Structure 1
Amino acid sequence: MPLTGHCLCKAVTYSVDVDAPFATGYDHCDDCQRQTGSTYSLVAIVPRDKLTINGPIKKWTGKADSGNNVDRLFCSECGSPIAHEPAGNRAISVLKAGTLDSEIKKLLKPDTEIWTASKLPFCQENLPKSFKFMPE
């Protein structure tokens, strides 16, 4: 069964032709905090070549700490973040997992957190796999 999801206004929909993400976790980097307006971004890493996005997407390109570009995809109608795609790893897309369909996101089992160097001090969750920065 593919992974499916949509933005807040449902103008953008997507599907990923896989049964499950490669990994699911929390991204505590400052950029993700700002993009989501929250303490971290719940992310699901999927193969980029299996992701199909339909609808009015806008893209904003920023820089990762590595110096590589990161494209951030969002709905041009409601502004919901959909994914980010690092130029440093063109094999993956990093879905904003809160946009997955409800029955799918309820089954997620986050086990990894990255960029804990930027983790806000009041965030008390601790996942089994924890990385101070981006894992190599």
Structure 2
Amino acid sequence: MPLSGHCLCKAVTYTVDIDAPLLTGYDHCDDCQRQSGSTYSLVVVVPKDKLKTQGPIKKWKGVADSGNAVWRWFCEECGSPIAHDPDAAPEIIALKGGSLDVELKKTLKPDTEIWTVSKLPFCQEHLEKPFSHMPQ
């Protein structure tokens, strides 16, 4: 089943022609906490070449601890985060799980946590595959 989603105002929509994400998990890095305004970002990693977007996407260049750029995609109209696109892994993109269509969000099965070194102490969930930093 292809993935699909949109921003809050629906000006940005997207589809991903895949059967299942490559990875679904929580990103606890400080940047994701700030962008999501929450304790972590639910990410759905997909092949970048399978992603098709429509609408006014703005991209902001951040810098990862490695020194590589991480492009934050968001709706130019409402500011909803859509994805983060790491230069260090050009073949993938991490969609913000909250932007998926409602019925698709309900089927997600996160099993991976990254950047647990930044995990806030009150987060009580512990997923099957934790990584203190970015997995290699």
Query: Which residue is 1:13 aligned to?
Result: 13
Taking the aligned partners of 2:100 and 2:19, their CA distance within structure 1 comes to 13
Taking the aligned partners of 2:22 and 2:82, their CA distance within structure 1 comes to 17
Taking the aligned partners of 1:5 and 1:23, their CA distance within structure 2 comes to 17
Secondary structure class of the residue paired with 1:49: helix
Count of equivalent residues: 136
Residue 108 of structure 2 is aligned to residue 108 of structure 1: yes
Taking the aligned partners of 1:15 and 1:125, their CA distance within structure 2 comes to 29
Secondary structure class of the residue paired with 2:26: strand
The TM-score with structure 1 as length reference comes to 0.99
Query: Which residue is 2:129 aligned to?
Result: 129
Query: Which residue is 1:59 aligned to?
Result: 59
The TM-score with structure 2 as length reference comes to 0.99
Query: Which residue is 1:89 aligned to?
Result: 89
Taking the aligned partners of 2:25 and 2:61, their CA distance within structure 1 comes to 22
Alignment of structure 1 residues 24-103 onto 2, 5 Å: 24-103=24-103
- Share of identical aligned residues, percent? 72
Q: Gaps (5+ residues) in structure 2?
A: none
Deviation at 1:65, TM superposition (A): 0.8
Deviation at 1:2, TM superposition (A): 1.1
Q: Gaps (5+ residues) in structure 1?
A: none
Provide the aligned C-alpha RMSD in A.
Answer: 0.5
Structure 1: 4+ residue segments shifted above 6 A: none
Partner amino acid, structure 2, of 1:38: S
Deviation at 1:20, TM superposition (A): 1.1
Q: Deviations over 1:77-131 (max 9, x none)?
A: 0000000100001000100011000111100000000000000000100001001
Secondary structure class of the residue paired with 2:38: coil
